[in-house]
Structure 1
């Protein structure tokens, strides 16, 4: 641990002073303080189906889960709405579309979320990259959506041996995803909303381990070059602070999910920046607070690491104003932290909308 601690100490002035956060995208794309939620649009998993028109008003960004590829390496995405046999009460396509339009008229953003736990997306070739762009565009146009959310999990992203330069990645699945998202952003322009929902393993774990061929899992930190390359276009990064093992923070201590301290430590890493695998010459620079939200399970059954309402509010207090902090002390205060993300709207409705009701007004303070 001493090597990492020494590297961080040597880098502190550079990261905090000489490497300011990148300018955030235009804030009009997403509300200043937002609640982001995933809607089970293509499947059911025990929480019940929620019609688009019935999504509670507290949710500012609605991610349609999920578009998945026809095969892990095809790049060809399909978005199939849940069938009545699996989702009793499902609305017609016409009603679903009308629900989207109604939400958009209220100022909500409705995005296509790609991937999920079962949707492995490996863009190994230029053909897969082009198929991804074309098929994502077709789905976005079909439903008139506002943008795309990248929720790649499992083995969708990894870094090949020797691919350790954050600014110049060479692994095809990473490079092709960057190119695909740039193409979509160019196609739709400034109003296109781009969000990402990686797991902690693909982001914060890069502080300890980065790049393949070092004895570590080649997926460690593999989202970082994608985030870095697209930081000027990225509206929201909401790392999944759940379904996670213990993660080392910038204090060189391990933090465990389910409490305020974990969220403070994980978010502070994104807003402070950090060296990759202890290398001060290979640094992930801070994101702007407007680009970051805390990712949470909406209820206990939604994912491991559920955080009770008071603990979430403690994390918001600590990050935004430096009050109510626990053992971990963040490197600054971030009053413009964008908000909260939850998996999922369906699970929250199933549990009486506790997440939306408890956090909407608090997160908007």
Structure 2
């Protein structure tokens, strides 16, 4: 995503064989089987300015965008933008608790188009994990979203996220890679997802700002179509991720991204194609994935500017999946 065009996502599996985690901490949410993720903008870029409490109830995972890099390699911080309207950090923390009390997860997103966080050795991995753990404790975040768009080292990001999980066994970890990052399980982002598969909640790839890409059948599909969504999701579904760890990330409106916006009905068709085998375009998966996690959008703010069409239409559809 970007500071004006971003994405992200998250969750935990229902029917797989991954180890069960300890009970969530007080106030933490258990991510539903089918979940809707939305990025909340900690800045004003022309979309509707919201406080967390204004985010539509359809969003199960709210990714706070974004954490900030500090002068220490790998370390992150979080700084509330005055433009959002909070009087204090305590008011923001209170809204996090209120969302959690309503059954939502609130995670801190790292990256974005302008994100400069680099985890490239053991020292920076340790700094990253320590700062994420501290922010989870200080603010009450349920976890972290990885939305790094300027390179990622799978060895050290995996190391860092495992350290976060060791400190918070109930951590919600979502990822929002760009399409190019998930074209092959040999790519660093894909390797990171597989490296934390035991506790990864969801990969909500950004199915936008990418032009045409190759689907799992070897054919080229254009962004903005149902085939683009299903053909690219299939790569993740057939190369090691559990269906419960795969979500579809799209812009909430045409204003939210440079390209790749699709109407909510197209997202719903893709969800039906992948989970039920109906609503497909020219590409039809060889099998269905009823456990698919759901969908994500950039952003809750752009969605609000668009009448909350994503929340109401895609959100309602995700929550109706069996």
Give the TM-score normalised by structure 2. 0.88
What residue is the counterpart of 1:348 in the other structure?
Answer: 303
Q: Indicate conservation of the 8 Å contact 2:75/2:117, yes or no.
A: no
Query: Which of 143, 164, 176 is the matching residue for 1:184?
Result: 164
Structure 1 runs, 4 residues or longer, greater than 6 Å off: none
Q: Indicate conservation of the 8 Å contact 1:53/1:96, yes or no.
A: no
Alpha-carbon distance in 1 for matches of 2:99, 2:249: 22
Query: Which of 92, 112, 115 is the matching residue for 1:116?
Result: 112
Alpha-carbon distance in 2 for matches of 1:29, 1:229: 22
For residue 115 of structure 1, give the secondary structure of its aligned residue in structure 2: strand
Q: Which structure is higher in RCO with an 8 Å CA cutoff and minimum separation 6?
A: 2
Deviation track 1:175-232 (CA, whole Å, cap 9, x = no partner) reads 111110000001111x11111111111112x27xx5xxxxxxxxxx221211111111
Alpha-carbon distance in 2 for matches of 1:120, 1:93: 24
Query: Which of 191, 205, 230 is the matching residue for 1:225?
Result: 191
| Structure 1 residues 293 and 55: alpha-carbon distance in aligned structure 2, compared to 1, 3 A threshold | same
Alpha-carbon distance in 2 for matches of 1:310, 1:188: 37
Note the C-alpha offset of 1:241. 0.7
For residue 113 of structure 1, give the secondary structure of its aligned residue in structure 2: strand
For residue 310 of structure 1, give the secondary structure of its aligned residue in structure 2: helix
Matches within 5 A, 1:313-352: 313-352=268-307
Larger radius of gyration: 1
What residue is the counterpart of 1:195 in the other structure?
Answer: 174
What residue is the counterpart of 1:291 in the other structure?
Answer: 245
Note the C-alpha offset of 1:360. 1.7
Alpha-carbon distance in 1 for matches of 2:80, 2:255: 23
For residue 294 of structure 1, give the secondary structure of its aligned residue in structure 2: strand
What residue is the counterpart of 2:65 in the other structure?
Answer: 65
What residue is the counterpart of 2:53 in the other structure?
Answer: 53
For residue 139 of structure 1, give the secondary structure of its aligned residue in structure 2: helix
Query: Which of 267, 271, 285 is the matching residue for 1:312?
Result: 267
Alpha-carbon distance in 2 for matches of 1:96, 1:57: 17
Q: Indicate conservation of the 8 Å contact 2:214/2:221, yes or no.
A: yes
How many residues align structurally? Answer: 298
Q: Indicate conservation of the 8 Å contact 1:110/1:145, yes or no.
A: yes
For residue 223 of structure 1, give the secondary structure of its aligned residue in structure 2: helix
Note the C-alpha offset of 1:26. 5.0
Q: Indicate conservation of the 8 Å contact 2:148/2:177, yes or no.
A: yes
Matches within 5 A, 1:104-183: 104-154=100-150, 156-157=151-152, 173-183=153-163
Give the TM-score normalised by structure 1. 0.78
Note the C-alpha offset of 1:22. 6.6
Alpha-carbon distance in 1 for matches of 2:275, 2:249: 16
Alpha-carbon distance in 2 for matches of 1:30, 1:91: 30
